[in-house]
Chains A and B, each alone.
Chain A
Amino acid sequence: MLRYIIKRILYVIPIMLGVLVIVFLLRVIIPGDPIEMFVRSDASVEEREAKRVELGLNYPIPVQFARYVWGVATRLDFGKSWAGNVPVRDDLLLRFPITVRLAFISVFIAVLLAIPLGVVSAVKHNSFLDQFILLATLILTSIPGFWLALMLLSAFAVKVHWFPALYNGTIRSWVLPVFVTAIGAMSGLCRITRTSMLEVIRADYVRTARAKGQTEQKIIYNHALRNALIPVLAAVGNMLGMQLGGAIITETMFGMPGIGKYIVDAIGKRDFICVQGGVVLLAFVFTIINLLVDISYTLVDPRLRSSVITTRKKKARPAAAA
C-alpha cells in the first residue's frame, strides 16, 4: 500500500516535467517579441538587447528552459516578473490562497448539496421531484458561469446593494463568487450522483439486502450509497481541479486577486514569465488532487485496494525466490 502511494507520488515528477515543457514551449512559440512590451517604442537596438539580457531571453531556448526548470526545482524560483521585477513566487504565494479558498469552499458546498439531491432524485426515480431536480440541474449546468456572474452582479450588486460588485476581502464579497462556482459544480455532481445511484439501487446486492429484511433507509445508506459514491469521488476531484483552473473566469468577473486573475492580467501585459508560473502552479495542484483521489479510491473500494496489494506481492515473490 505504502509502496503504491510512493510510486504514485513519484509519477508526479514526469508529469510536472511534461507540464513545464509544454508551458515553456507555448511561451516560446507565441508570435511577437515580448521585449516590445517592456521598452519604449523608440528604443535603440542596444537598449532592446540590454533588456533582453536583463530578462534572460538572450540565451538559447534550451538553456533558458534548463535555467527555468532548475530554478523551479531547486529554489522554487519562478523567475522575476518582466513588468514589475517582482519574484513571481511572491505573487503566487500571495494570490494562491484566494483561488484555493474559492475552489474548496465552492466544491464543499456543492458536494453537500449535490449528494443528497442526487440520492433523493434516484430513490424517487421518475417522480415529480426527480423530474424537477433533473430539469433544474440541466439548466444550471447549461448556464455559462460568466453569464450567471453578470446576472447576479447586476441584480444583487447594482440594483440592490446586497453584495459588493468587486472583491474587497470581506465575507460579503465572497458570497457571489462562491455561489457561481458552487452552482456549476453542484449541478454536475448531482447528475453524476443520480446516475450512479440509479445504477446501484438496481444491483443484485441491493435486492439481497432487501431479501434480508433490511429497511429501505439502511439499504440506501449502507449498501447503495457506499458503492454509488465511488465514481462521485472521482468527479469531486476533477471538479476541484477544474474550479482551480476555471477560477480564471470567476476571479476576473468579480475582481478577485487570485491566480486566475493574475494569469489573465499577465497575459494582457505579455508578462509571460508570470503566466508560466501561474499555469505551472495550477497544473501542480491539479496533479496533487488527482493523486489524492487515486489514493482515496483504494480506501473506499476494497477491490482496488487488494489489486494494489497483490501487485506488490507478485513483485515480491520472484525477489524472494532469488
Chain B
Amino acid sequence: MLEAIGARSVEELFAAIPPAIRLERELELPGGMPEQDVYAHLRELAERNTSAEDEISFLGAGMYDHYVPALIDMLLGRSEFLTPYTPYQPEISQGGLQAMFEYQTAISELTGLPVANASVYDGPSAVAAACYLAHLANGRSRVVVSRAVHPQSRETLRTLSHGYGTQVVEVPLRNGRTDPDTWEEAIDGDVAAVVFQQPNFLGAVEDAAALAAAAKRSGAVVVGSYDPIPMGILASPGECGVDVAVGEGQTLGNRLDFGGPSFGFFAATEAHLRRMPGRIAGETRDVDGRRGFVLTLQTREQHIRREKATSNICTAQALNALAGVVYLGWLGRAGLVELGELLLQRTAYLRDSLAALDGVSLLHEQPVVRELAVELDVDGTAGVRRVIGRCQDAGINPGYPLGADYEEHPTGLLVAITEQRTRKHIDRLAAVLAEAISAEQAGCGTREEAHA
C-alpha cells in the first residue's frame, strides 16, 4: 500500500505534524485485552452496581423501570437499524426514514399536536430546546417555569438560556401543584415561554388547561413537559392548549442505562413547524411515483442555515426513538390506556399503604397517577437517606429523597411505580419502610450525628 502511495513509511504520512507537538511515547493507558477478558472486566463492573434486577425499586424521578418487551431488543440489535448513519441518502435509508415518520405520527397522536420531530437528546434538553424555540418565535427575554418541573430540566434550561441571554423565573408550589396565582402574576408581555410538567415532579397531576389558559393571553409560548405513559389517560397537551409538548421518552421501550441514552420527544402546533429543532422525516414520491420518505425542511438545520439554524442538533437519538415507536405499537391503542389505568389503581393502593404507616404523611393530596411524594417523620434529608439505606439493605429501594432539590421538603420522599411493581412489592415496601423509619426514630446516636 505504501508503494501505491509513494511513501516509504506510515510515519511519513504524518509529516505535517510539527515535531514539537508529536507524541513521542505511547499513550498512558492500560494495555489492550482480548474480547473475553474485556467481557469479564465489564461484567465485573456491572456486578458492582445494584440494578433494578437486584432490588425491588421504587425509584423514578424522571426515569422508570418499565418492562422492555423482548422484540425491542431483537429489532434494535439488527445491523440495519443499529449501524447506519443519519439517513443522508434516502434511497437506501427508507427503513429508518419510515420509522421516523411513524414515530412522528405516534408522538403527534399522543400529544394531540400536529407536528413532531424525529427526537432530541432527552427530556431536560427538550425543555431547554422548547424555550429556545419560543425565544426565536417572539424574541422575548424571560421564561417562567414552575418549581414542580424536574430540577434537572430547570437546571438545563438555566445553563442554556444563559448563553442566549434569557432570564428564568420560578413559580413556587401550593399543595403540591404550581401556585396558580403566582403563575398568573409572573406572566406578562416580556415572557417568551411558560413551562410546567405533567404529572409534576412531586407526582401531582396539574390542571394543565388552566395553566395554559393563564399564559395564552400574554402571547407566551406554552410549554408542557410530559411523561408519555400517563398521557394515555390524562388530557393531552393539544386538548389543554399547550403549544409545545416535550418530554423524556425513556419510559417508551428504553432501558434505564444509568440515565441514557434515551430520547426526548418534541411536538408543537403548526405555527412552529419551521422553528422546530432537529430532524424531521417527510413523505414524498420517487421518480417512478413510489411512496417514499426523506429528511425534510432541512433549511432549519445547522448544516444549511449554520449560524442562523433553529438548533445545533445533529446526531440525536434515532435508535431510541425507534424503540419508542415499536413500544407504542406493542402497547397499541387500548394497551396505553389500560397501562395508565393499571398504574392509577396501583398508585392509589401505594398511597393508601404508605399513608397508613406511622411516621409517613402525604406531602400533598392532589391526584397522582404513577408517582407520589410523602414526608417521613425523621430528622432532615440525612435521616431520609439513612431510611433509604436501611430499606436497601432489606432489598427495597423506596425512592428518591427530595431534600437535595427542595429545601422546603427536607424529609420528602418520591415513590414511583411501574407495571413491574405488584401489590406484593408494595406490601413489602410498606413493611420495610415502617421498620426502617422506626429504627431511624429509635437510633438517637445517628440522629445526633446528623446534627453535627
Q: Do A and B originate from a single complex?
A: no
Q: Residues of B with Cβ closer than 8 Å to A?
A: none
